[in-house]
Amino acid sequence: MAQGTASGSEGMGAFSDAVADSGDEFKNEALKLNDFLRRYHPSAADAKLDLLQDRYRIELSTPLPEFDGKTSRAFAATDLAEPTRMMFAQICHPGSVQRHRTIGILTTITHQYILPLAAAGTVQLSRPEEERFVIFYERPQGKKLSELLAQNQYPLTQSFVCDRIIAPLAAAIHQFSELDITHGSINPDNIYFSDVAVLGPCVAEPCGYSQPFYCEPLERMLALPGAKGEGSPAHDYYALAIVVLYILHGAKHFTSMTADSLARSIFREGVYNALTGQKEMPEMFYDFFRGMLSQNDKDRWSYRFIKPWLEGKRYNVLSPPPPVEAIRPFEFGGALANTRRELAYLFCTDWDKMADPVRSGKLGQWIAVSLRNKDLVEKVTRISRSIVELGFKNEVQLNEQLMHVILLLDPNGPIRMKNLSLYIDGIDSLCAELYANKAHQELHLLAKFIEFNMGNYWLELQRKAIQNYTVPTTINTILMKLERLRTTMRYGGLGFGLERMLYELNPEMPCLSPLLRQWHILTLPQLLIRLDRLAPNLSKDDEPLDRHMAAFLASRLGIMHEIRLHDLASSPSLANNRAIIALHLLSLAQQKSGDMQLPGLTHWLVLRILPALDAIHSRSLKRKLKGMLMEQAKAGYTQLLADLVVTSNYASADQTSFHQAWSLYLTNESKIGGYRKGSRIDQESIRFGFIIGKAIAYGAFLLCLFNAFRMM
Partner 1 sequence: MSKAFLPLLLVVGAAMIILLQFGFIFLLLALLPSVVAFYIDRDVGKPAFKTVLSCNLAATLPSLVPMLDAGIRMRHYDTSAVLSNPSTWLIVYSGAAAGWCLIYLCRYIARFTVMLFYEYNIAMLEGQQKRLIEEWGQQIKHPPGMSQN
Using CB under 8 A, list all residues that contact partner 1: 573, 614-615, 617-620, 655, 658-659, 661-662, 664-665, 668-669, 671-672, 675-676, 681-682, 684-694, 696-698, 700-701, 703-705, 707-709, 711-712
- Of the pair 437, 670, the CB lying nearest partner 1 is at 670
Q: Helix (H, G, I), strand (E, B), or coil: what is residue 123?
A: strand
For residues 184 and 208, the answer to whether their CB atoms sit within 8 Å is: yes
Largest CA distance in the chain: 163
What is the nearest approach in angstroms of partner 1 to the Cβ of residue 646? 18
**DSSP, res 7:** -
Q: How far apart are the first and last CA of the chain?
A: 109
**Element housing 42 (H / E):** strand 40-42
SS3 assignment, position 118: strand
Nearest to 341 by CA among 273, 409, 293, 405: 409
Ramachandran region, residue 229 (left: φ > 0; alpha: ψ -120 to 50; beta: rest): left
The CB-of-693 to partner 1 minimum distance in angstroms stands at: 4
Query: In whole angstroms, how close is the CB of 688 to partner 1 at the nearest point?
Result: 4
Which of 20, 324 has the CB closer to partner 1? 20
Q: Residue 608 CB, nearest distance to partner 1 (Å)?
A: 16
Question: Phi/psi class of residue 6: alpha, beta or left (left: φ > 0; alpha: ψ in -120 to 50)?
Answer: beta
| Phi and psi at residue 342, to the nearest 5° | -65, -40
Whether the CB-CB separation of 543 and 604 falls below 8 Å is answered with no
We find the least distance from the C-beta atom of residue 566 to partner 1, in angstroms, to be: 19
Nearer to partner 1, 277 or 689 (CB): 689
CB atoms within 10 A of CB 687: 9
C-alpha distance from residue 268 to each of 6, 265, 366 (Å)? 75, 5, 18
State the number of CA atoms in the 13 A half-sphere of 149 facing the CB.
24
Helices 578-593 & 599-609, crossing angle to 10 degrees? 160
* Distance of closest approach, residue 542 Cβ to partner 1, in angstroms: 23
Q: Shortest gap between Cβ of 205 and partner 1 (angstroms)?
A: 50
Closest listed residue to residue 510, CA positions, set 540, 549, 538: 549
**Based on CB atoms, which residue is closest to partner 1, 27 or 561?**
27
When the beta carbons of 17 and 669 are compared against partner 1, the nearer one is 669
Nearer to partner 1 by Cβ, of 318 and 708: the residue is 708
Please name the residues in contact with 596: beta carbons below 8 A apart, sequence gap of 6 or more.
Answer: 1, 2, 525, 528, 529, 590
Q: How far is the CB of 619 from partner 1 (least distance, A)?
A: 6
Count other Cβ atoms within 10 Å, centred on residue 705: 10
What is the C-alpha to C-alpha distance for residues 557 and 597, in angstroms, rounded to an integer?
A: 19
Separation CA 601–CA 266 (nearest Å)? 60
Least distance between partner 1 and beta carbon 613 (Å): 10
Taking CB atoms within 8 Å and a gap of at least 24, the contacts of 345-352 are 345/222, 345/263, 345/264, 345/267, 345/410, 345/413, 347/402, 347/405, 347/406, 347/409, 348/222, 348/406, 348/416, 348/421, 351/402, 351/418, 351/419
Distance in angstroms (rounded) separating the CA atoms of residues 358 and 383: 8
Least Å distance, CB 506 to partner 1, is 39
CA distance 267 to 345: 9
Least separation, in Å, of the C-beta of 636 and partner 1? 30
> Which three-class secondary structure string do you get for 19-34?
HHHCCHHHHHHHHHHH
Minimum CB distance to partner 1 smaller for 469 or for 688: 688
Question: By C-beta, is 1 or 672 nearer to partner 1?
Answer: 672
Least distance (Å) between residue 625 CB and partner 1: 14
Smaller CB distance to partner 1: residue 318 or 712?
712
Question: Closest CB to partner 1 among 492 and 689?
Answer: 689
- CA distances 1 to 353, 536, 544, Å, are 60, 18, 19
Enclosing H/E stretch for 199: strand 197-199
Minimum distance between the CB of residue 579 and partner 1, rounded to whole angstroms?
15
> Would you say 466 or 704 has its CB closer to partner 1?
704
> Based on CB atoms, which residue is closest to partner 1, 22 or 124?
22
User: Which of residues 369 and 703 has its CB atom nearest to partner 1 in the complex?
Assistant: 703
Residue 57: partners with Cβ closer than 8 Å, 6 or more residues away: 50, 51, 77, 78, 80
The 3-state DSSP class for residue 295 equals coil
Is the bond preceding residue 525 a cis peptide, omega within 30 degrees?
no
**CB of 647: closest distance to partner 1 in angstroms?**
21
Nearer to partner 1, 532 or 654 (CB): 654
- Considering the complex, what minimum distance in angstroms separates the CB of residue 682 from partner 1? 8
The C-alpha atoms of residue 509 and residue 92 are separated, in whole angstroms, by 12
Which residue, 566 or 694, is less far from partner 1 as judged by CB?
Answer: 694
Least CB distance from residue 711 to partner 1, whole Å? 7
Compute the distance between CA of residue 336 and CA of residue 430 in angstroms, rounded to an integer.
31
For partner 1, which is the closer residue by CB, 524 or 580?
A: 580
In angstroms, what is the minimal distance from the CB of 585 to partner 1?
A: 23
SS3 (DSSP) at 557:
helix
- Of the pair 170, 610, the CB lying nearest partner 1 is at 610
Q: Which is nearer to partner 1, 284 or 705 (CB)?
A: 705
CA distance 593 to 174: 42
Least CB distance from residue 31 to partner 1, whole Å? 23
Q: Would you say 37 and 4 are in contact if contact means Cβ atoms under 8 Å apart?
A: no
